[in-house]
Amino acid sequence: MDPEKFAKYCLSIVVLISLVVVVNASSLPSSRRSKYEILKQINRNGPYIGLITVYAPEETAFFGNGAFKPNPNHPFVDLSGRRFKIGKVHDKKVIYVRCGIGMVNAAAATQQMVDLFNVAGIVHFGIAGNVNNSMSIGDVSIPKQLADTGLWDWVNPNGTLDSTDVAHLEIETYNVPKGGENLLGSIGYMQEQFFSASGKPNVSQPLFWIHVNQQWLQVASKLERMDNLLERCVNSSLCLPEKPKVVVGLRGATANIFVDNAAYRDYLFNTFHISSNDMESAAVVMTSVSNGFPVIVIRGLSDLAGGQSGQNGIQTFGSLAARNTANVVVQFLKELKT
């Protein structure tokens, strides 16, 4: 082809592509176009650390800490019903969101965070049930690995559980009195199907324990030696019997179940050797790792997950656990080198 004709041909292709882009952009609702422009401006100032918590009391404790300073130009952007708040904690640029209760909400908010914002990693925090008798309400656990203990293979009595299940729960062993048939049968704990940005498309790997970022965990280990991080008292008239502590490197479990049952609590600890139990952490970690982002989990222990006598302690100690968690999150961000 003649060079001049070729140049004109290339120019026409560029013009055509530009027209297609303009038409596609103009076809979006004006509100969505304006949000895309805001996102572009926000991301130019990144990268940020993504902060994800769960529900209102944890949010109140975090912002009540006073460490978060909103961005004066773009303090927040609303997306899909969630408010993403932009600011700083100490010298770290952060984007905060409250995801909502449960694994679906947690995974959705995390994916939205890593897809739409220029983030360098995710810090997930909140409160949790205490499943380990060597720990106490008010303590803060920063686990090294988490599992989804809500993915079940539930079979009839005399049914055959899958040989790949990680653990089994024979419900009839909890019959009172002992003996007799229990129609609830057995539960097998299944592994996740883990898809990764670094793996082959549409090819999953079986996975039960998923690890947080080891470098960030090493940074968090410094917090165990800081005695003044955690509060002991809910108010002037209600205090814990012992000073709370930060513990790094245990295990945590997640399921769409609020556990307030002593027998199941003991089963979880004896079978999986976990220390904390919640409804979101594993989903946040799995989504982050799948996308190739570092992630860490910080959970304050608010109750005994059914191990107490009487009412669950979350109503009494939830606010204290949330404040202690917020204190640890802020200190972790201070220690983190970016």
pLDDT at position 13, please?
44
Q: Band the pLDDT of 35: cuts 50, 70, 90.
A: confident
Q: Is the pLDDT of residue 166 over 80?
A: yes
Share of the chain above pLDDT 90, in %: 87
pLDDT above 50: residue 206: yes
- Using one digit for the tens of pLDDT, what is the confidence trace for 213-228? 999 999 999 999 998 9
pLDDT of residue 58: 98
Q: Which pTM does this prediction carry?
A: 0.90
pLDDT at position 7 is 47
- Strands 92-98 vs 48-53: parallel, antiparallel or unpaired: parallel
What is the band of 4 on the pLDDT scale with cuts at 50, 70, 90? low
**Pick from 60, 116, 57, 67: nearest CA to 333:** 67
Specify whether the backbone of 79 is left (phi greater than 0), alpha (psi in -120 to 50) or beta: beta
Higher-scoring residue by pLDDT: 209, 13: 209
**DSSP bridge partners of 129:** 277, 303
Domains and CATH numbers, the chain: 35-151+191-335 (3.40.50.1580), 152-190 (no CATH)
**Mean per-residue pLDDT for 316-337?**
97
